[in-house]
Amino acid sequence: MPLNKQIKKVLVIGSGPIVIGQAAEFDYSGTQACQALREEGVEVVLINSNPATIMTDKEIADKIYIEPITLDYVIKVIEKEKPDSLLAGMGGQTALNMALELSEKGLLDHYNVKLIGTKIEGIKQGEDRALFKEMMLRIGEPMIQSEIVTDVLSGVNFAAQIGYPVIVRPAYTLGGTGGGIADDEVSLKAIIVSGLSNSPVGQVLIEKSIKGWKEVEYEVMRDANGNRISVCNMENFDPVGIHTGDSIVVAPSQTLSDKDYQMLRTSALNIIEAIGIEGGCNVQFALNPESFEYAVIEINPRVSRSSALASKATGYPIAKVAAKIALGYGLDEIKNAVTGVTYACFEPSLDYVVVKIPKWPFEKFFKAERTLGTKMMATGEIMAIGTNFEAAFLKGIRSLELGQYHLKHKKFMKLPLTQLKALVMKADDERIFALAELIRREYRLEQINAITGIDPWFLDKLKWIIDQETHIESLKLEQISSDMLRKLKRKGFSDKGIGDLIGISPEEVYDYRISLGIRAVFHMVDTCAGEFEAVSPYYYSSYETIDEVTVSNRDKIIVLGSGPIRIGQGIEFDYASVHCVNSLKRLGYETIIINSNPETVSTDFSIADKLYFEPLTEEDVLNVIEKENPIGVVLQFGGQTAIKLAKFLSERHIKIIGTDFEQIDLCEDREKFDAFLESVNVNRPTGKGVMSVKEGINIGRELGLPVLVRPSYVLGGQGMKICSNLIELEDYLVDAFIKDKKNPVLIDKYIVGKELEVDAITDGKNVLIPGIMEHIERAGIHSGDSMTVFPPQTVSDNMKQIIVETTETIALRLGVMGMINIQYIECEGILYVIEVNPRASRTVPYISKVSGVPIVDLATKVSLGMSLETLGYGTGLYAQPDLIAVKVPVFSTHKLPDVEISLGPEMKSTGEVLGIGRTYAEALYKGFIAAKNAPDIEKSSRKPVVLMTLNDEDKSSISEEDLPDTFDYCATRGTGVVLLSHGVTAIRVRKIGNEAPNLLDLITNGDIDLIVNTPTHGDDTKSDGFIMRRAASERNIPVFTSIDTYRAWNYASKIITSSSETDIYNMK
């Protein structure tokens, strides 16, 4: 069927803030979908609360609403824009749930909006476990023995019937939140309780555990005509039991015979036919490794993380094709963009192997429970392509940026076998290295298969790698023959990996390799295994014989992406990289992107002129540079991942476009930076770098406590802490020097003040400051985790002037070219600098959108030598926007067991939303609503109950203004006394451990709507505060751990009591 001409205006719902289980992949798919719709002349109206996305750019949609994705605001958009259709399959679970809610309330009919793509009935059948099970039964597709329960007792009874272990899966949640595997009745009860409260419909599925079965996924598509294809299948390295988002995944499947493969493919196609999918769908199977027995685990009737991965793995643009299908096209009417001659109705054939490895946040949350299970915990992932499994796998390992270039991991080398075995059986984020060590010690592969369920095929491949590593260690470089080195390179060994094993530098291996004429070549990802001539500019490296890249004679610039998404380095950097590419394209350069993250817009092969899907390591980046010979490389938009390469590139005399290595180093080397600030007369909190515990204690005494301590060279406040006494300081220092003896620990005087931040652009002569951001929480909370308002609300004109002057001084005197981000503290009228980053920061997307200054575009232009004065946005502080924007961080801590919730100098948030308003209160209100991290008073059926437990400092600062009579209060004894002194009678709560009802009981019973808990110490998993915060988080009860956040919320909710008092704003 051709284009449905009745579709003229489509509302697209985005996925909102980045959380674990719902990340950048929906910006990729949403952006692709919006573009596909507009290509057909359809008007696109977009709603997404996440400002750090490409899809909310003015180039992507016709109307852009950066508004909360809640029923109220979606309705406001529908009423204002009157779209005729809704596309809900692009914004993950968030959009799908919204579509269901709209439909169930009859609002789609009411507003005459047609859902395009998969119909509501299909979505329900795919999402509702009972309906899905019924459907599978009807079409004869096997499922795992299971039952849906809505209460604990039925669950326990059913488990007794089918036998333990059982898996608990809550309905309608993303990333399996609140689920888990239960080995006995006690653990089952606990998991059911958590699952029921996480499921918006109060349902959980109890199912027979099929641990050890293979997990296989199919990405399939169907059009309204019933044409069906399988785009890609994938085999999980980790068997069933570990969430696929936390599994190493290989595409295509490796250990399935054609019969196995076709059996599951047929099943997947039958399922989407029965459900009536119109677009993309993901089908997950469990396959008994000993027979043809299989079971359908679940489906996702929409694009997903897996479909993004499949798109990047095959070159097949699933989201784009899904959008075209939604408009009425048949698969056989949509051109294959990769070949330009064939159609979308075919199945990609791969002639390479793809490996995906998750990236977990445990570098940040080292105290968290890291055991992997049915709940997804990874924040991001990398993908690697190779001509064999080993090559893709080793590329993948080094793409993770763990400092691992081979499988030998220091941490596991000294562990006893029993411990290694336990680690391998338990499966955590570092399991792969424990596994490698166990294989190195010649533990029998068959037995590893028995205890882990990992297929022997994968184990055999790992063993080959490990055997080579052991062999290499016994050799000198010149003993490695040309044939052997070529073989190692073909199998993905890096120069650094080989060098480390021999004990020499990677440069020596590189020089030797080049002397033997062994160089990387590049192949095309063409969807068809070379059968047709392809036009896709999408490449990966190998050490085979032919190179398929045609190097043009145009001026080329390489833009480095930012690798896997992790806390502190998220989607914002992908946004900046993509904008840089667009800017360079407009300037007439040939653009080349290198990145390893399959979830992103930047790795869509239609973004840059060429895409190299490669690890962002020195060697892999150099390979591309040697091939393409660009005029320069842009680092400043790729976060710390790209910046880290500055030294290497500089040593190789490769031009860095924008700020050069010396200036970058000046910002990151503490001593040089201090000297610099002194030379330009800028204040910073006094402090010093120390190299020993003793020295640190002395400095701590000298500065006076509290002090802020952190390791040098950091991003996202990794390992940062505020120490309020010498014992804490000593503990920190001892721990830090165990981890890293070579680099200093920095100790600063901790200044409590107002935190301010600027992103600025400089051409070396002038500085443009698009805006000053004011943090709502006082200093001490990581800038990524604090709420921020732009333009500032409480900064005097005089102070603004000081900020502008100081920013100009720093930017110009440092010699920065392009982007600079500076964080300040204002304390008693004095401005202190706390951090300078000579690169784009995570605030760039939102400031660009609110201020209207195309920051990345300007920064790209000045980096190439253009003058700010000629670019049309002036210099100095840019005019304040009419609208006020409040950025609110969003956390995924409830998905990570044992992670501290209270905010501090360590960044914890995974995403952010923006609240936009004419007034500060309106912006705040919408920010809180969008982030869903404060009680929704409007929807509350009772007077909200606030539980307060405050630290001494906050006790003394609290006033009647903080305690409006619109709430009821509960408090622990000390705080209760203070409240009483302000005329507020709070219900006294007993501490945890005391007789019921105590603090924990109130939380568990749902008697509390908000917790305001300002802790004295964080991170102590045994403390009452910690237990209380975790309990609240797991039950989705909002917790404010800074009195400033509470005050902001209190302020907003006094002025605005209902969403009807707020407006929506088209950001275009």
Partner 1 sequence: MKARLILENGAVFEGEAFGYLDTQVGEVVFNTGMTGYQEVLTDPSYCGQIIVMTYPLIGNYGINLDDFESNSIKAKGLIVREKCAFSSNFRSEFELEQFLKHNKVLGIEGIDTRALTRMIRSRGTMRGIITTEDLSETEISSYIEDYSSKGVVYAVCTKTIERYNGLTTSSDEQHKKVALIDYGAKKNILRELLKRNCDVTIYPAWTSADEILKDQPDLVFLSNGPGNPEDLAPEIEEIKKLIGVKPIVGICLGHQLIALASEGETEKLKFGHRGCNHPVKDIGKNRVYITSQNHGYCVTKLPKDFEVTHVNVNDGSVEGMRHTLLPVFSVQFHPEASPGPRESDYLFDEFIAYAE
Q: Enumerate the known binding-site residues for Mg(2+).
A: 284, 298, 300, 823, 835, 837
Question: What three-state secondary structure class fits 336?
Answer: coil
> Two tokens at 484?
């052997």
Nearest Cα residue to 61 out of 76, 75, 74, 42: 42
Residue found under tokens 């956390």: 891
| 953 forms part of the interface with partner 1 (CB under 8 A) | no
What is d(CA 636, CA 646) in angstroms, rounded to the nearest whole number? 10
Q: Could you say whether residue 318 binds partner 1 (CB under 8 A)?
A: no
Query: Smallest distance from the beta carbon of 1034 to partner 1, in angstroms?
Result: 40
Could you tell me how far CA 1064 lies from the centroid of its own chain? Answer: 27
Closest CA to 1045 of 960, 924, 951: 924
Q: Annotate each residue in 878-917 with x if it binds partner 1 (CB under 8 A) or - if it does not, as one string.
A: ----------------------------------------
Q: Which is nearer to partner 1, 456 or 764 (CB)?
A: 456
* 280 is an interface residue for partner 1 by CB under 8 A: no
Binding residue ranges: 129, 169, 175-176, 208, 210, 215, 241-243, 284, 298, 300, 710, 749, 751, 755, 780-783, 823, 835, 837
* Residues 186, 189, 191: CA angle, nearest 5 degrees: 110
Q: Is 350 in the site for partner 1 (CB under 8 A)?
A: yes
d(CA 158, CA 170): 16
Q: Which of 39, 109, 533, 555 binds partner 1 (CB under 8 A)?
A: 533
| Sequence-distant contacts of 397-403: CB under 8 A, at least 24 apart | 397/357, 397/432, 398/494, 398/496, 398/497, 398/615, 398/617, 398/620, 399/357, 399/563, 399/564, 399/596, 399/615, 399/616, 399/617, 400/357, 400/359, 400/564, 401/563, 401/564, 401/616, 401/641
Out of 112, 161, 262, 1016, the only residue in the binding site for partner 1 (CB under 8 A) is: 262
Does position 265 interact with partner 1 (CB under 8 A)? The reply is: yes
Q: In angstroms, rounded to a whole number, what is the distance separating the alpha carbons of residues 915 and 884?
A: 8
Q: For partner 1, which is the closer residue by CB, 255 or 606?
A: 255
Q: Are 395 and 436 in contact (CB under 8 A)?
A: no
- The first and second tokens of residue 831, run together, are 């401005």
Q: From residue 1014, give the alpha-carbon distance in Å to each of 424, 802, 1045.
A: 39, 32, 10
Task: Please say which residue, 549 or 992, places its beta carbon nearer to partner 1.
Answer: 549
Count other C-beta atoms under 10 Å from residue 991's C-beta.
13
Task: Give the separation between CA 562 and CA 382, rounded to whole angstroms.
Answer: 11
Q: How near is the Cβ of 539 to partner 1 at its closest, in Å? A: 12
Residue with Cβ nearer partner 1 (530 or 704):
530
Out of 6, 291, 474, 798, the residue judged to bind partner 1 by CB under 8 A = 291
Q: Judged by CB under 8 A, which of 138, 259, 414, 1022 binds partner 1?
A: 259
**Binding range to partner 1, per CB under 8 A, among 87-95, 275-283, 360-368, 455-463:** 455-463
3 state SS of 671: helix
Binding site feature residues for ATP? 129, 169, 175-176, 208, 210, 215, 241-243, 284, 298, 710, 749, 751, 755, 780-783, 823, 835
User: Which one among 43, 58, 142, 261 touches partner 1, defined by CB under 8 A?
Assistant: 261
| Residue 346 engages partner 1 in binding (rule: CB under 8 A) | yes
Determine if 546 is a binding residue for partner 1 (CB under 8 A).
Answer: yes
Binding-site member from 83, 92, 252, 317 for partner 1 (CB under 8 A): 252
Tokens of 978: 């203070």
Choose between 256 and 277: whose C-beta lies nearer to partner 1. 256
Nearer to partner 1, 251 or 608 (CB): 251
- 612 touches partner 1 by CB under 8 A: no
Please, which residue, 315 or 687, has the CB nearer to partner 1? 315
> How many residues in the shown chain lie near partner 1 by CB under 8 A?
56
* 233 in Cβ contact with 176 (< 8 Å): no
The CA radius of gyration of the chain, in Å to the nearest whole number, is: 28
d(CA 734, CA 244): 38
Strands 279-287 and 249-251: unpaired
Q: How far is the CB of 347 from partner 1 (least distance, A)?
A: 4
Based on the shown chain and the rule CB under 8 A, indicate whether residue 254 belongs to the binding site for partner 1.
yes
Q: In the set 17, 178, 348, 700, which binds partner 1 (CB under 8 A)?
A: 348
Nearer to partner 1, 108 or 264 (CB): 264
Strand order, beta sheet including 146-149: 146-149, 204-208, 166-170, 180-182
- In which order are the strands placed within the sheet that holds 538-542? 521-524, 538-542, 610-613, 590-595, 556-560, 632-634, 656-657
Rounded Cα distance, 84 and 9, in Å? 6
Residue placing its CB nearer to partner 1 in the complex, 525 or 560: 525
Contact 970, 984 (CB under 8 A): no
Listed in sequence order, the residues at least 6 apart from 371 whose beta carbon sits closer than 8 Å to its beta carbon are 426, 427, 428
Does residue 351 belong to the site contacting partner 1 (CB under 8 A)? Answer: yes
Nearer to partner 1, 548 or 702 (CB): 548
531 binds partner 1 per the rule CB under 8 A = yes
Q: Pick the stretch among 52-60, 140-148, 345-353, 1049-1057 that binds partner 1 (CB under 8 A).
A: 345-353
- Of 143-151, 153-161, 385-393, 1046-1054, which segment contacts partner 1 by CB under 8 A? 385-393
349 binds partner 1 (CB under 8 A): yes
Q: Which is nearer to partner 1, 404 or 527 (CB)?
A: 527
> Of 59, 79, 184, 332, which one interacts with partner 1 (CB under 8 A)?
332
Of 522 and 1026, CB closest to partner 1? 522
In the block, residue with structure tokens 């275009």 = 1068
Structure tokens, 48: 């997404």
CA angle at residue 840 from 835 to 846, to 5 degrees? Answer: 105
Decide if 102 contacts 74 (C-beta within 8 A): yes
Counting contacts by CB under 8 A, is residue 257 touching partner 1?
yes
- Name the binding residues for Mn(2+): 284, 298, 300, 823, 835, 837
Q: Judged by CB under 8 A, does residue 343 bind partner 1?
A: yes
530 contacts partner 1 (rule: CB under 8 A): yes
Q: Which of 139, 425, 514, 529 binds partner 1 (CB under 8 A)?
A: 529
Piece of the chain touching partner 1 by CB under 8 A; list 6-14, 54-62, 336-344, 647-655: 336-344
Contact between residue 137 and residue 129 where contact means Cβ atoms under 8 Å apart: no
Site for partner 1 (CB under 8 A): which residue of 474, 515, 545, 679?
A: 545
Instruction: Quote the CA–CA distance of 832 and 824 in Å, as a whole number.
Output: 5
Least distance CB 657 / partner 1 (angstroms)? 34
443 binds partner 1 (CB under 8 A): no
CB proximity list for 19: less than 8 A, separation 6 or greater: 174, 890, 891, 892, 895, 910, 911
Of residues 4, 145, 150, 342, which one binds partner 1 by CB under 8 A? 342
Options 348-356, 801-809, 847-855, 1023-1031: segment touching partner 1 (CB under 8 A): 348-356
CA 1039 to chain centre: 22
Q: Which of 159, 181, 528, 921 touches partner 1 (CB under 8 A)? A: 528
Contacts of 270 (CB under 8 A, 6+ apart): 139, 141
Looking at residues 180 to 239 of the shown chain, list those that interact with partner 1 (rule: CB under 8 A): 225-230
**Residue of 4, 145, 388, 683 interacting with partner 1 (CB under 8 A):** 388
Q: How far is CA 884 from the centre of its chain?
A: 26
Which region among 544-552, 584-592, 840-848, 1000-1008 touches partner 1 (by CB under 8 A)? 544-552
**Residues at the interface with partner 1 (CB under 8 A):** 225-230, 252-262, 265-266, 269, 289-291, 330-332, 341-343, 345-353, 387-389, 455-457, 460, 523, 528-533, 544-546, 548
